[in-house]
Amino acid sequence: MRKTGKQKVNIYIIAKEAGVSVATISRFFNRKSLVKKSTRAKISEVCNRYSYEPSKIASAVTTKKTKTIALLVPDLEQPLFIDLIRGVEFILYQNKYCMSVFNAEQSLEKELEIAKIIDNRFIDGVIFSGVYGNEREEAFITEMQKRKIPCVMVDRIIPNVNTPYVSSNDYLGGKLAAKFLLKNNHKRIGIISYDTKTYIFDQRVKGFTDVLNLNGIGEEFVLDVPLEYRKIEKSIHSNGNKILEKKPSAIFTTSDSIAILLMSFLSEKGIKIPDEVSVMGYDDMIFSRFSFPKLTTVHHDMFELGKVVGKNLINKLENGKYSKRVQILNPNLVIRDSVRRI
């Protein structure tokens, strides 16, 4: 049969041309793994010849699936989550999935509102990076489980909740930072972190302080700043006297965003970095290599995390099981100019 300009190709024509049943065509588009490799090749050849793509709307009505993933992030003002979105989208595009991005704006209440929105749409699965990553967010996970919507957490861990997750080894990252500062002979060390009620930041601080304690060194101070990006600078300034009176030789921060704003504050006070105070970040955001001085930090690859979590969820949707229930990526040290050797 030849394609004509007036002919509207549909699933029945594709089935006839490929010499298979309509049910086989349906499985090809919705559960490809259930179709033999030789049959898949035959169907693909016919589809390519006709430039045929199935109607997403019609498919959704029949299968209740749209190949749409919801990605929930805590705060789109944080540059780091742009890398996460890029990583997820990279994998979804390769697998012909699309994505709806939801911004929780650091609000647990908004998370639950988003859960209701997801329930009212054809969403096949959810990638969840919550505000805190602790037991306070069990409510969101519970709502997804009630609705039988596959969900994978990324860059957040809720201990004791049976939900697959992809994360970085934040405890190891904290240890790497502490070992580097000790190797450079720093002994008066302060810590500035996001709210340590958030599991990943707690782990970064714990890894860091465990190394200090093993070496007989106590931190000079541990200062928590708000998760909201716009409030960090105000918090650093309001705690400025506490930071300066401790006279640290180095300050470790659990995010590059904190580190950059801290460096700005110290510069305003006439303090030279790293000659008088060394500053170390965490994340390796793109702007950390353009700061002055360039920021020494721990590389936390959110783009790669996005790719891994995207693959894991697609494997669940396509093959009925997750690749792994727990996937941990190791961070690494990035040495630049903001830490000096004493």
136 contacts: CB under 8 Å, gap ≥ 6: 108
Other CB atoms within a 10 A radius of the CB of residue 221 amount to 15
Distance CA 88, CA 309 (A): 7
Dihedral angle sign, alpha carbons of residues 30, 31, 32, 35: negative
Per-residue model confidence (pLDDT) at position 265: 96
pLDDT at 27: 82
The pLDDT of residue 4 is 43
Block means of pLDDT (10 residues each) for the chain, 342 residues, are 55 89 83 85 90 65 72 90 96 94 93 89 91 85 90 89 93 98 98 91 97 96 89 92 94 97 96 97 94 96 97 94 94 97 94
Per the CB < 8 A criterion, the answer to whether 194 and 225 are in contact is yes
So what's the pLDDT on residue 3? 45
pTM to 2 decimals? 0.81
pLDDT for res 59:
56
Question: In angstroms, rounded to a whole number, what is the distance separating the alpha carbons of residues 340 and 181?
Answer: 9
Domains defined for the chain, CATH in brackets = 11-54 (no CATH), 68-168+302-329 (3.40.50.2300), 170-300 (3.40.50.2300)
Q: Is 239 exposed, middle or buried (0-12, 13-18, 19+ CB in 10 A)?
A: middle
How many residues make up the chain in this entry?
A: 342
